[in-house]
Amino acid sequence: MKSIAGSFLCCLFAALSFTVRADEIKTVDFGAASVVYDYQVSRKGVATLSLNALVSETNDSLRGLKNSDPRRLGQLGQLIYQCKLLLYEADKNDDGDNEIAPMLISRNYSLFTGVGLSLADGERLGIRVRTLQSVDTASLFTPALGGDEIHKELWQDVGAGPGFNLRQINVNVLMDSDVIRSAENVDIVLRFPIFQLRKPVRQWSYSFDLVDFNRAVRHANENCTPERFVELIPKG
């Protein structure tokens, strides 16, 4: 007996018997943040729906930050959250239960720096994340009164060597800890190389407001579904 999931996905791929153009994009705004939909279908039985939640720095966020590299200051950084849904058409040649098409959902945070700089041999990149937690207005212990756990700080040691480019970096510590869900803002500092005796260590600093961004992330997660995929299929 065919399962509900199998029936649904079979109908999905029957409806997607054509190639959706890559420029079929939908954008939803959430104040300073936005969610960009990108859905595509290949002729090889793979359908992809990507929802990217984006928020950019403001010009004000650059003031007072210790950024000395002009390439860094040339454009604003972006904090990106992606939820990606891949639907694979079931292989009709396989024996056994092949009625349910496989699904894969991936989620990750990344930082777009806009600076195409590579690390040198032996150099490593470190990411420090510091968040200001949301204030509970009903609580007596506000930041002004010295409440605990107002800030949280995390560290991530990533990429090494010339094969690693700093233009866009996965910030896995945000996904692993989910620390920004209850935060008002986040500061992200890139330190490279992490430790160096013979030349100076450089740092780039980024700051993002999270109120609108977290709304966009929730929207991305809620709509990263096969049902939403079907709704987005161009008619006609």
Q: Domain residues of the chain, as ranges?
A: 4-232
Phi, psi of 179 (to 5 degrees): -70, -20
The answer to whether 218 touches 83, Cβ cutoff 8 Å, is no
- Confidence category of residue 111, pLDDT binned at 50, 70, 90: very high
Q: Please state, in angstroms and rounded to a whole number, the distance separating the CA atoms of residues 145 and 206.
A: 28
Q: Please state, in angstroms and rounded to a whole number, the distance separating the CA atoms of residues 194 and 206.
A: 17
Question: Which amino acid, one-letter code, is at 89?
Answer: E
Q: Please state, in angstroms and rounded to a whole number, the distance separating the CA atoms of residues 51 and 58.
A: 23
pLDDT of residue 71: 73
pLDDT in tens, 82-108: 999 988 776 655 555 555 566 888 999
pLDDT of residue 132: 85
Can you tell me the mean pLDDT for 130-139?
A: 67
pLDDT of residue 19: 46
More confident residue, 56 or 116: 56
pLDDT in tens, 47-85: 889 999 999 987 766 665 667 677 777 778 999 999 999
pLDDT in tens, 189-207: 998 888 766 667 788 889 9
pLDDT in tens, 14-51: 555 444 454 467 899 999 999 999 988 776 778 889 99
Which percentage of the chain shows pLDDT scores above 90? Answer: 29
